[in-house]
Structure 1
Amino acid sequence: MTIRLVLPIIGLVLLFSSFGPSRPTTTQKQTNRPPNIILILIDDMGSADVGCYRSSNSASQLPPTPNIDRLAAEGIKFTNYYSAAPICSPSRVGLLTGNVPGKWRITSFLAERKHNRTCEQADFLDASAPSVARELKTAGYTTAHFGKWHMGGGRDVDNAPGIRQYGFDEYASTWESPDPDPLLTSTNWIWAKSDSVKRWNRTAYFVDKTLDFLKRNPSKPCYINLWPDDVHTPWVPDETTLNEFPKGTEKPREFNAVLADLDVQIGRLMAGLKALGIDDNTLVMFTSDNGALPTFQGKRSGEFRGSKLSLYEGGIRMPFIVRYPAKTPKGRTDNQSVISAIDLRPTLLSLAGKKGSRGDGENVAAVLVGKPASRKKPLFWEYGRNNESFRYPEGRDKSPNLAMREGNWKLLVNADGSGAELYNLSTDPSEQTDVSSQNAKLVNDLKAKVLAWRSGLAK
């Protein structure tokens, strides 16, 4: 299988395939201002998809990711980071708003209106919702969104607010958005042979957009969502695959090619920051919206139980890497700090110089620059409001529909109070041994908290 190459930019791929030394093409004095911020959100990436998060059992069965691993070697790798939900749309809402997504009636992936009604959810994120991009603009930032949106728009939802209404100055997005880029969406579907930018070239296209935006805005700090739709299924790594499988595949060979090229593009991005002379004062965060599916018999979830669509750790506990040379130590692993996607809004606003706590999360700015801390608030999740739309995954990975973590304890329970499971994540991160029967009082205490939280969400 030939790893995907972008024909118009072959020379740039070769130049930027690693972070190696490069001569700045511009001189941008940025040391005395807030950092540029790039939030890289990969789509459906399991924890073991990233080389530096793998155990020896999965290392030989998945392709290497040297450029992503180098992010961790030059920054901080966190091992207790959680997405806001085990599926794309609500997890993205949590990142943007700093709120648990159920407050905005987003509970599953957004699709056509009929599907949304069945899931008991809205058709799109309310434009009045908080937005980290909108608030960063008030702190002097210029903002952009390049990549998948999936917080409303597409299919038969034709009244979703435009991306600019959430505070973004520029954007280029895919079919599942209110403003699809015509170069990516020549037809009314996720991809087509007639697209000007082919499916396998999209991540490179979004990286190009990111570097161009930074180059054109040297006088202000920039906030950029770089949200590719890799490594989501079905996989189309090159034209040969498209011709053989017009709807893509879910086979390991094609996944390996997609992941390998994603890693190349991360290398291009980082080399591009060096070439622009803005590397030191750019905060890069790398994570995923939710867990993997398919997991290839659990290999992509690593040590964790579960997958996308599951509230077990494999569905919500994600890789999280922070690299900010001006502030972060190199080669650090933080096993102590428990961080959530809903923390990023107050944290980034703090790093931009805006005071005050916002949303449901915590300000973990000190944690992101190398000062581990214990979490003050418990974390809560929901996935599943009925048995029709939320019947997957099947078997052992299907979890109760509510979960919470407080300290090292994790409780899973159904919204009617049934099916409680309790795990001590400090000794059992794989959630193999349910200890609820030995800790009845703790189960009742945690259950009361999570059920009270659930009752307060939008219906």
Structure 2
Amino acid sequence: MLLRAITIFFLVFSINAHVLQAQQKPNIVFILADDLGYHDIGTYGNKVVPTPHIDSLALSGVKMLNGYCTSPICSPSRAAILTGRYQQRFGFEFQEKDAPIGKLSLMQKKKFYRRAHKEGDIIDLSKDSIVVPNGLPKDEITLAQVLKQNGYKTGAIGKWNLGVADYQLPGAKGFDYFYGFYAAAGLYASEKDPTIVNQHIDDILDRPTWFRHKYSALVRNGEAVDETEYLTNKFGEEAVAFIEQNKSSPFFLYVPFNAPHTPFQAPKDIVARFSNVAEPQKQVYYAMITALDDAIGKIIGKLKETGLDKNTLIIFTSDNGGATYTTATDNEPLKGGKMCEFDGGIKVPYIMSYADKIPAGATYQSPVSTLDIFSTAVGVAGIAAPAGKVYDGVNLLPFVSGENSNAPHDILYWRNGYSKAIRKGEYKLYINEKEKVEFLYDLSKDPGERNDVSTNFPEKAKELKADLNRWEETLGKPMWKSRFHFRLKVRDRYFIFPT
């Protein structure tokens, strides 16, 4: 009996110790803004739009001064973030050709893809003649899948934009819970809501957004739901509810807001705060950023209320640079914006906060990438990345904490069809094969990319081009063609970019 009692005691002790160890794993909250420009928030220099909650993350953690995404377009950028791999490695080079999945067609997405295939909308590159729907390939492993397999509860709340085939949906990619929409954009509220300001933009991208995406369905774990609340507010509330429901176990919460992506809609009472701003599109854009900051404040507040802020890594960034074609932001002094590989399109606000692990109020100068989010998250969770794949990010924690004084990356690369770039040290080479231009910039002296120094340093341009070519040789072929070519004015001239 004594031996049995001792055995039971140690068994119970072992189980309790295991549970305690699981509970001590850090939580991970990753907040992603949509088309938020580098200078659109206070901590990065914006003097018009107060963003106290986002700024508080920088005050409690580290602000990266040279944070980059991997694509100037939403969907490819998100594919790289969730996999920790350059999206070109698995053919996700261009924007996913999504269709708004409405309530009536939610169960007909397979029929949509059969129709798309017949029209030749998808390029079949496989030897077995298997047609691959746009979006994440089946064999790509997301951060959510890795964390879930290691005891984490996982939730995604917001914009998906990574494919709507069964194996591409959030539930199949590691998320226990999903609330949001699958498409690239969606309305924030009914156009007929009297409390909402609707601001249309005379732009080729804005017009179809209002028409197509008004039919996008909001879904909760695959089932369409009705919603009347302003969507940014609702996403914040859903995130708070997820934290409450999972506060006793380690969790990974991914909150990909669609703000401040078009269509421009915001509550009237928030828009009124910017009545001194002359341009109506800027009034609404600023109000959307304010609502985004308020929603993030709810998330931060809930973590503090539950005491989880002491054991939670919080990451905030944007999927790409500000959309200058809306005329609501210009990204200056950075060059260009969304759609292009100039820094205005790929340099993003990037903040990490982790109590007692990252010095409060720190800034970090060396170039970092959103590729690093995957490696940082698995690193702080004490998990090894899955074997058999090349991971392009690094765990940033030793770098931003001061433990490692080296630069996280020697080189960063970009390729979007014929529009390409490489940053190596302080030099950046941009190539647009369609426009037949090559520019070399010394970012240490010219962060605005105004002065091409390729004629002054031809060997440096040649070196970077050779590095870029070697990287391209390691990549796969695009799984589908670009959707269209976009003509974008960048300062004093127009460029054409693929999407």
The reply to whether TM is greater than 0.5 is yes
Query: Is residue 50 of structure 1 aligned with residue 41 of structure 2?
Result: yes
Whole-angstrom distance in 1 between the partners of 2:266 and 2:215: 13
Residue aligned with 2:214, SS: coil
CA-to-aligned-CA distance 1:146-193 (integer Å, 9 cap, x gap): 11010112xxxx55632111111111121418xx9xx99xx9953369
Determine which of 407, 420, 440 is the counterpart of 1:374: 407
1:411 Cα offset (Å): 0.9
Q: How much has 1:139 moved relative to structure 2?
A: 2.5
Contact 2:71-2:416 within 8 A present in 1 as well: yes
1:415/1:454 contact within 8 Å kept? no
Corresponding residue to 1:106 among 87, 92, 95: 92
The answer for the alignment partner of 1:331 in structure 2 is 361
Q: Map 1:112-131 onto structure 2 (within 5 A).
A: 112=98, 113=116, 117=122, 123-131=134-142
For 1:361, the equivalent position in structure 2 comes to: 393
**Contact 1:380-1:405 within 8 A present in 2 as well:** yes
- Between the aligned partners of 1:296 and 1:189, the Cα distance in structure 2 is 18
Q: Distance in 2 between matches of 1:188 and 1:311?
A: 29
Point out the structure with the larger strand share: 2
2:294 corresponds, among 261, 264, 271, to 264
Match of 1:146 among 154, 157, 181: 157
Larger radius of gyration: 2
* Matched residues, number: 394
Percent identical pairs in the alignment equals: 31
Query: 2 CA distance for matches of 1:218 and 1:63?
Result: 32
- CA shift for structure 1 position 346: 1.7
Q: Check 1:271–1:298 CA distance in 2 against 1; reply closer, same or farther (3 A cut).
A: closer
**Do structure 1's residue 287 and structure 2's residue 317 form an aligned pair?**
yes
Give the secondary structure class of the aligned counterpart of 1:203. helix
Match of 1:351 among 380, 384, 387: 380
Secondary structure of 2:266 counterpart: coil
The TM-score, its normalising length taken from structure 1, stands at 0.77
Does residue 214 of structure 2 align to residue 191 of structure 1? yes
For the pair 1:133 / 2:144, whether they are aligned, the reply is yes
In the TM superposition, residue 384 of structure 1 has moved relative to its aligned partner by 3.2
- Scaled by the length of structure 2, the TM-score of the pair is 0.72
Residue of 163, 172, 175 corresponding to 1:168 = 175
Q: State whether structure 2 residue 442 is matched by structure 1 residue 409.
A: no
- Tell me which amino acid in the other structure corresponds to 1:379: L
Task: State the 1:255 CA deviation.
Answer: 0.9
Task: Indicate how the Cα distance of structure 1 residues 116 and 250 shifts in structure 2: closer, same or farther if over 3 A, else same.
Answer: farther
- Alignment check: 8 A CA contact 1:415 1:451 kept: no
Equivalent of 1:65 in 35, 39, 51:
51
**Cα distance change on mapping 1:285 and 1:309 into 2, 3 Å:** same
Q: Which residue of 2 aligns with 1:11?
A: none
Are 2:25 and 1:34 equivalent residues in the alignment?
A: yes
On the 8 A contact 2:266/2:287 being kept in 1, the answer is yes
Residues 240 and 354 from structure 1, CA distance in 2 versus in 1: closer, same or farther, beyond 3 angstroms? closer
Answer yes or no: is the 8 Å Cα contact 2:240–2:298 preserved in 1. Answer: no
| Alignment partners' CA distance in 1, 2:154 and 2:217 | 30
Instruction: After TM superposition, give the deviation of residue 51 of structure 1 in Å.
Output: 0.9
CA positional deviation for 1:420? 1.9
How far the C-alpha of 1:425 sits from its partner, in A, is 1.2
Distance across 2 between alignment mates of 1:66 and 1:436: 42
1:410–1:193 Cα change, 3 Å: closer
Partner SS, residue 455 of structure 2: helix
1:285 CA drift (Å): 0.7
Q: Which runs of 5+ in 1 are unaligned?
A: 1-27, 242-248, 386-400
Provide the rounded CA distance (Å) in 1 between the counterparts of 2:70 and 2:266: 29
Match of 2:332 among 295, 302, 305: 302
> Does residue 1:432 correspond to 2:465, yes or no?
no
CA contact (8 A) 2:282 2:329 kept: no
Query: How far, CA to CA, are the matches of 1:422 and 1:208 in structure 2?
Result: 46
Deviation of the 1:110 alpha carbon:
1.6
8 A contact 1:237–1:258 mirrored in 2: yes
The 1:136–1:188 alpha-carbon spacing in structure 2 relative to 1, beyond 3 Å, is farther
> Which residue in the other structure is 1:316 paired with?
346
Residue among 283, 288, 296 paired with 1:253:
283
Q: Does 1:275 align with 2:261?
A: no
Aligned mates of 1:150, 1:231 — CA distance in 2: 15
Q: Is the 8 A contact 1:74 1:330 kept in 2?
A: yes
Q: Deviations 1:222-267 (Å, cap 9, x if unpaired)?
A: 11110111100111113899xxxxxxx9811211211111111111
1:92 counterpart letter in structure 2: R
What amino acid does structure 2 have at the position aligned with 1:86?
Answer: P
Q: Deviations over 1:93-132 (max 9, x none)?
A: 01011111112222232225479649x9961111210211
Deviation of 1:30 (Å): 8.8
Q: CA deviation at 1:366?
A: 1.3
Distance 1:297 1:148, change over 3 A: closer
Please give the secondary structure, in 1, of the residue aligned with 2:441: strand
Alignment of 1:86-105 (within 5 A): 86-105=72-91
Partner-residue secondary structure (3-state), 2:183: coil
Structure 1 CA distance, aligned partners of 2:263 and 2:90?
A: 29
* Contact 1:148 1:173 survives alignment (8 Å): yes
User: Partner of 2:66 in structure 1?
Assistant: 80
Note the C-alpha offset of 1:36: 0.7
With over 3 angstroms needed to count, the CA separation of the structure-2 counterparts of 1:370 and 1:271, relative to structure 1, is farther
* Structure 1 position 47, deviation (Å): 0.7
CA distance, structure 2, for counterparts of residue 351 and residue 379 of structure 1 = 23
Structure 2 residue runs without a partner (length 5+): 1-18, 99-115, 126-131, 191-209, 219-225, 271-278, 478-499
